[in-house]
Amino acid sequence: MTNSTSKNSTKIVAIGGGHGLGRMLSALSDYGSQVTGIVTTTDNGGSTGRIRACQGGIAWGDTRNCINQLITEPSVGSMIFEYRFKGTGELKGHNLGNLMLTALDNMSIRPLDAINLIRDMLKVETHIVPMTEHPADLSAMTPTGEIIHGETSVDELSEVPQRLYVEPAVPATKEAVLAIEDADLILLGPGSFLTSVMPPLLLKEIAAALKASSARIIFITNLDNEKGPAGMMSLETMLHWCERAMGGRYVDGIITETNLSNIPPRYEQFVEDLAASNHNWRHDRTKLKNAIDKLVVSR
């Protein structure tokens, strides 16, 4: 099978949130509509958190970030979508893209339809699917049994939580489940492990689809140690958390910058130079693309 044929036929699902998923989807933009990003919707910080506090709904910030990183043709529409208000008033710090998506939601337009409307307007081919279309928050149980609510509170924990939960127990978006069922390659990360990578895996329908999937599931490591409780977790512990959420389904491989001698041999390691030249903690899009291309060709 040729490289171009592999690209045209391979269906890829990337799971996560924030800047990490946006960078991954941007690196995969050559695969066009063959790629689906499943986006975390539990953020309660920044502009997104302020909107949720007064308007309710799902968190739109990570979805907007992914769309922004996929815009290939700058336009007035893309400038509007990326605009962030300045000044000192009520709108200070709000992103207009978040407000646009919230407005569509308030008009009783299905969240996925709202995303697709924006994708069409901005000529974004990659499918972007929220993990759920129902409002929910991330919660954690501490080692002492205390329950902490909200992503920002989880990030501020001084120790690794015992468990994570999405509350209430909302259903996954059906298109997210179908994308996983059809996928040839599933990518977890990079990004904030507890608050971006884990939340979609905590939804029972997504967990069940991942458990049953015959696709290769690949974990992409971060290039720098995270702040907060996730920074206290070893890579092996992170893999265990993913596998526990997926009902015992093993992760197949890891994309990493250095060979990891302390990882069990059941994990195939793909050692690649991934860091951007100007920020060694950020994945370079082209290097990330090349690493994924090698996976696709070798399947």
Closest listed residue to residue 177, CA positions, set 196, 198, 203, 199: 203
Q: Percentages helix, strand, coil for the chain, rounded to the nearest 5?
A: 45, 15, 40
pLDDT in tens, 45-70: 999 999 999 999 999 999 999 999 99
pLDDT in tens, 117-131: 999 999 999 999 999
- Predicted confidence at residue 292, as pLDDT, reads 95
With a pLDDT cut of 90, the percent of the chain lying above it is 81
In angstroms, what CA-CA distances link 125 with 4, 25, 32, 190, 194?
A: 18, 11, 5, 21, 28
The two structure tokens encoding residue 82: 């990326």
> Distance (Å, rounded) from C-alpha 28 to C-alpha 282?
16
Binned at pLDDT 50, 70 and 90, residue 5 comes out as: low
**CB neighbours of 150 closer than 8 A, spacing ≥ 6?**
44, 137, 138, 139
The DSSP bridge pattern shows strands 268-271 and 253-256 to be parallel
DSSP output for 83-111? -B--SSSTTTT-BHHHHHHHHHHHTT--H
Closest listed residue to residue 220, CA positions, set 190, 260, 249, 194: 190
pLDDT, greater one: 1 or 133:
133
- Predicted confidence at residue 2, as pLDDT, reads 44
- Predicted confidence at residue 299, as pLDDT, reads 67
- Predicted confidence at residue 87, as pLDDT, reads 87
pLDDT in tens, 128-137: 999 999 999 9
Check: CB of residue 246 under 8 Å from CB of residue 266.
Answer: no
